Amino acid sequence: MDEARDLLGIPRELDPSDALVESVHEAAGNVATLRTRVQAVESGEREATAVQLAALRETYSEERDRLSRMAKLAHDAGIDERRVRLAEDQAQLIATVLAAALTDPEWSLPAEAQARGRAVLGRHLRRATAEEGGEILELPAGE
């Protein structure tokens, strides 16, 4: 039993969507590795018999098919959309916290300093979101 565990790994808790993403990443890595090996044999950098090359090409083809299936499953499950929504929610949370901090009574910032702070933080938020190619966030007005 220990031998099987050593070969296959030990069980671990994993969210199904994370498992799907891991499968996509693993398949992509396998495809890249196999492509490099096939190209090395075809270019003469690495030696292999005709049978070995055929087996390598077949494995490469099967792994490409696996990658396509895993990518489609991930797409159909809406994983990318969920990740985008999560990132947008996190960005909005940051903007809300920054706006609340500027108006926090404990700081007692004058209205002019709050407005200047919102402008400066807003500029940095816009720059950061533009660099990431995301939706431009505005810092909410203070309460």
Let me know whether 65 and 111 are in one domain: no
Determine the residue type at 65. Answer: D
Highest mean pLDDT among 5-14, 78-87, 108-117, 127-136: 108-117
H-type alpha helices, 9-110:
16-43, 50-76, 79-102
- Report if residue 66 sits inside a domain: yes
3-state secondary structure of 44: coil
User: What is the mean predicted confidence (pLDDT) over 69-90?
Assistant: 91
For residue 141, is it within any domain?
no
Q: Give pLDDT tens digits for 99-111.
A: 899 999 999 999 9
Per-residue model confidence (pLDDT) at position 102 = 92
Q: Is the full-model pTM beyond 0.85? A: no
Last residue of a domain, one of 77, 96, 117: 77
Q: How confident is the model at residue 123 (pLDDT cuts 50, 70, 90)?
A: confident
Tally of structural domains, the chain: 2
Mean pLDDT of 27-47: 97
Residue 27 CA to residue 55 CA, distance in Å, equals: 18
Residue 87: give the domain boundaries.
80-131
Phi-psi region of 14 (alpha: psi -120 to 50; beta: other; left: phi over 0): beta
* DSSP label of 132: T
